[in-house]
Amino acid sequence: MPEVRVSRRGFLRDALAALGFAAIGDRSLIAASEGWAPPKNARLVLGVISDTHLRTDYTGLKAARTFPHKYLYAALRYFRAQNVDAVVHCGDAAHRGQIRELEFHAEAWNKVFPKGLAPNGHKVEKLFVTGNHEIDGWQYGTDVGFKVERTFKDPVERAKRILATDIASSWERVWGEQYEPVWHKEVKGYHFFGRHYGVAEGRIAKLVGECAKTLGFRDGRKPFFVLSHIRPHAALNRSMARYPEAISLFGHWHRSASNWNIIHEWSGSIAIHVPACAPKGKLPFAGDEYITKAKLEGGEEEKVGSSRQGYVFRLYDDMLVIERREFGEGGSLGANWIMPIGTYKPHPFSKDELKKVIGKPEFREGAKLIVEGSRAEAQGYGEGNVLKITIPLADGNPKSRVYAYEMTASVQQQAVITKAVYAAGGNMGIGHETDGGVTTIEIQKKDLPGDETMTIAVTPISSLGTRGRPITASTAVCNKQGA
């Protein structure tokens, strides 16, 4: 496939359409069609992860068997297969703040990238920052009640094992590079700025400003990256807003990359949350009530899927392509995020613009609801206390992955009950959804009017709140046992 080039003055619309792209107005915002793959000659390829939270067992020496390292290895191996030039880690690597936990990461790195090299011999740069767990994790209680001071009761011995004692020397010994509270690195002409946990944001804003003057990299044609563990606060966002090409990456939240809301556009500054690649894989769907009329339910791990996620960034002269990936069972988390390089108002990653790109999630043609426990069932008439509604996966629009469903039961066009649930398996890679992506809703019959014919409508919703066409079913309910 030929390289796609995007003019900063507008689209070559016919050429883009022929390649399967959609244009939004006169701005360079594009969305890839199903089956499209970015060109192979990327200027820079990054593997991006965060919050791996590896931990020791009770000895403080060996890896905890209940928190396997295989997902970190899977992520690094996938990055190797993509021939990355660098790997970003946004912190919380060492769960209990122990040097040994950082060594687990170095052991994985050295196995996947021996001597820091890719299979073709080029250097793979480490772009790592610390998180709160590296600094304070040794003080935290955990789900298994382990605390470092219980295992290493002698303060002198304990001090030898925790990173916070002398993180600079430990970092240098483990990673073979100098520990700097804020740092700047250049990889293939692209600039990266890192801020370790606990360092004032003003220090990295100052470093960016100094480098912008002395290195002259602000040409408006290349993004540069600001890495930290905690989300940038208002002051840093305002500082970065002076640099439209700046992209901040942060971790800590453990939110799923299935949710488009983890791209934040604040005052012209872009910040992208990096999801966790932790052994337990808890990436909750939560806090999204605004997209539905009812409070969302069913976001538990077993419903949406236990997921370990990260990104692959591919940078070209004219666009940034972000692949969202799940490293447990594998698979893409949805359509790539694509941002052309340049200065735009509104920004292509602003919410209103993103909504235009992804459109609406849709059911496939002919998709049907299954309603059980109603009079429509020949064998189930009058039996049971629950009305069960089974919803097929709404995967009719590949650009807009379904995030939630809203169900409304109506009698004579008057809604009697509304419920909303997260889409089953939405945390997982496409093709690896829980129960094949089939979602169920259960309603207590006592909450419904008896002996009434109802219309049940289910609407698919994206994480940005775009709503597709509902599918419906009609049924009558008897809510009296033995009737």
- Residue 213, domain CATH: 3.60.21.10
Name the more confident of 113 and 243: 113
Identify the pLDDT of residue 215.
Answer: 83
Region class of 193: left (phi > 0), else alpha (psi between -120 and 50), else beta: beta
Closest alpha carbon to 158 in 97, 74, 214, 230:
97
Q: Are residues 276 and 376 in the same domain?
A: no
Asked if residue 9 is part of any domain, the answer here is: no
Q: Are residues 46 and 194 in the same domain?
A: yes
Residues 336 and 264: their CA atoms lie apart, in Å, by: 16
Asked if residue 483 is part of any domain, the answer here is: no
Res 233 pLDDT > 70: yes
Q: State which of 247, 280, 313 marks the end of a domain.
A: 280
Asked if residue 327 is part of any domain, the answer here is: no
**This model's pTM is above 0.75:** yes
Asked if residue 382 is part of any domain, the answer here is: yes
CB 229 within 8 A of CB 132: yes
Asked if residue 365 is part of any domain, the answer here is: no
What is the pLDDT averaged over residues 134-141? 87
CB count in 10 Å sphere of residue 392: 18
Identify the pLDDT of residue 219.
Answer: 58
Q: State which of 280, 308, 339 marks the end of a domain.
A: 280
Identify the pLDDT of residue 144.
Answer: 58
pLDDT digits (tens, 9 = 90+) for 421-447: 999 999 999 999 999 999 999 988 887
Q: Are residues 87 and 228 in the same domain?
A: yes
Say which range, 158-167, 351-360, 428-437, 448-457, has the weakest mean pLDDT.
Answer: 448-457
Domain count, the chain: 2
Say which range, 42-46, 60-64, 101-105, has the weakest mean pLDDT.
Answer: 60-64
Asked if residue 115 is part of any domain, the answer here is: yes
Res 56 pLDDT > 70: yes
pLDDT digits (tens, 9 = 90+) for 379-416: 334 456 888 999 999 999 988 999 999 999 998 888 88
Confidence band for 218, pLDDT divided at 50, 70 and 90: low
Asked if residue 376 is part of any domain, the answer here is: yes
What is the pLDDT averaged over residues 198-219? 88
Identify the pLDDT of residue 213.
Answer: 86
Asked if residue 340 is part of any domain, the answer here is: no
Name the more confident of 446 and 473: 473
Identify the pLDDT of residue 121.
Answer: 96
Helices (H) and strands (E) in the chain, counts: 11, 22
| Residue numbers of the domain that contains 388 | 370-477
Q: Are residues 377 and 269 in the same domain?
A: no
Confidence band for 104, pLDDT divided at 50, 70 and 90: very high
| β pairing state of 404-411 and 414-422 | antiparallel
Identify the pLDDT of residue 142.
Answer: 62
- Residue 439, domain CATH: 2.60.40.10
Q: Are residues 273 and 395 in the same domain?
A: no
Instruction: Render the burial of 106-139: b for 16+ CB within 10 Å, e for the rest.
Output: eebbeebbeeeebeeeeebbbbbbbbbbbbbbbe
Structure-token match 């295992």, residue found: 151
Q: State which of 280, 296, 324 marks the end of a domain.
A: 280
